[in-house]
Structure 1
Amino acid sequence: MKTDSQLQHDVQAELEWEPSIDHAHIGVAVTAGVVTLTGQVSNYAQKLAAEKAVHRVAGVHALAEEIKVRYPGDPKTSDTEIAKRIRDIFDWDVTIPADEIDVKVEQGWVTLTGTVHWHYQSEAARKAAGKIHGVLGVYNMLTFRQAPTASDVRERIVAAFKRNADLDAAAITVATDGGTVTLDGTVHNWRERRIAEQAAWAAPGVVRIDDKLAIA
């Protein structure tokens, strides 16, 4: 008598053997001799061919067929398609460390996990995933690598302010507590306030900005 793993292997081999089936998007699970097919095919003929292929395999007790027919012109909004498009856009975007981020899609909801160095990388990944058609929401579970000391973070932010011609660094005070940065003082307008925030976010290890800057 075949084990479930042996039966799964045989079913997968039979699907691969059948030339009329694009087996790449068909999943096979076996429990107590019952085969469950999931995934998608491009036409109904392939769906029927997959069913027949399973029934040709010795040891199959029953078939639960959950394959969906997705025609070429249909919107590409299945979880598998969404995940692939997210991976593709991550690979293209140089600001996103694609190799360090795992993507899971379940019923249109995307979960991002992994570890990145910078806040802007986490934000870039979240925004990119949210732009994909069919995504209902994004759970951003990305974490940051070991942060530098608070004093080092403060020094980097202050140096960045001094380099920026659009900011009066002397009018802004910077305090750090772990990964939290507090900005206080005055700026001339909302644009300068946004520039200050962006410069602070660029420092490694920053996970939160408490912006108390006032518009002079």
Structure 2
Amino acid sequence: MKDDLRLRDDILDELNFEPSVDASNIAVTAKDGVVTLRGHVTNYAQKLAAERAAWRVAGVKAIAQDIEVRLPGDKKLSDEDIAKRALDILDWDVLVPSDRLHVKVATGWITLTGEVPWNYQRVAAETAVRKLSGITGVSNNIMVEPHVQAGDVRKNIVDALKRHAEVEADRIKVEIHANGVVAIDGRVDDWEERQAVERAAWSAPGVRTVENRVRIA
């Protein structure tokens, strides 16, 4: 295992290498593969980019995200303005059934609620609003209401895992519970592989919730 000091330095190098992040006010600590990011950035997009950059570094098993968004004075918007912009951008996005969604904004933090048929629509809604300037964070509370009740959900997921070259499907256990809840467990080598497993689970029709218990080892 990479030692803590080396891991911290590698993450700092990756943050400084990432052009979309001003890492001058970000501090990093590492302990046994658990990384904590602290400090502040000037927008929410930088906060997300910093976390993605940290995940790219080999040896990272978990991240505690404590970066604060401190908006410059000229970038601050009223909650009413942010809410209007969020509704507009959701209306413009062809992947999002905006008539099914609700937007709430409090001190710059957007909360999305509602129900959609597919998880990709849920993800698309969050992706759309987190691009907005003046926001401090996004909570995606949109529920997925499956339009199909598939009896072979588990087979669909296992088949999808086998199609992913980066995933060793025999190391992953899939359990199907009531109401479209899927639990995935097992062991993978890195974060990208863990994400591939979760994407495979979400891609099966009839899935409403994915409990990702897959460990990085």
TM-score class normalised by the smaller sequence: 0.5 to 0.7
State the match for 2:48 in structure 1: 123
Q: Does 1:166 align with 2:95?
A: yes
> Residues of 2 paired with 1:157 and 1:199: CA distance?
8
Q: Does 1:113 align with 2:38?
A: yes
SS at match of 1:126: helix
**Count, aligned residues:** 141
State the match for 2:69 in structure 1: 144
Query: What pairs with 1:97-112 in structure 2 (closer than 5 Å)?
Result: 97-106=22-31, 108-112=33-37
> Residues of 1 paired with 2:61 and 2:120: CA distance?
32
Query: What pairs with 1:1-216 in structure 2 (closer than 5 Å)?
Result: 77-106=2-31, 108-146=33-71, 148-203=77-132, 204-213=134-143, 215=145
Distance 1:213 1:118, change over 3 A: farther
- Name which structure has the greater RCO, CA cutoff 8 Å, separation 6+: 2
Which amino acid letter does the alignment assign opposite residue 128 of structure 1?
A
SS at match of 1:151: helix
How far is the alpha carbon of 1:119 from its aligned partner? 3.1
Of the two, which has the highest radius of gyration? 1
SS at match of 1:197: helix
Which amino acid letter does the alignment assign opposite residue 96 of structure 1?
V
> Residues of 2 paired with 1:170 and 1:126: CA distance?
31
Which amino acid letter does the alignment assign opposite residue 70 of structure 2?
R
1:197 and 1:211 in contact (8 A); partners too: no
How far is the alpha carbon of 1:186 from its aligned partner? 4.6
> Residues of 2 paired with 1:202 and 1:117: CA distance?
13
The normalised TM-score by structure 1 is 0.53
Q: Which runs of 5+ in 1 are unaligned?
A: 1-74
Q: What is the RMSD of the two structures over their aligned residues, measured on CA atoms? A: 2.8
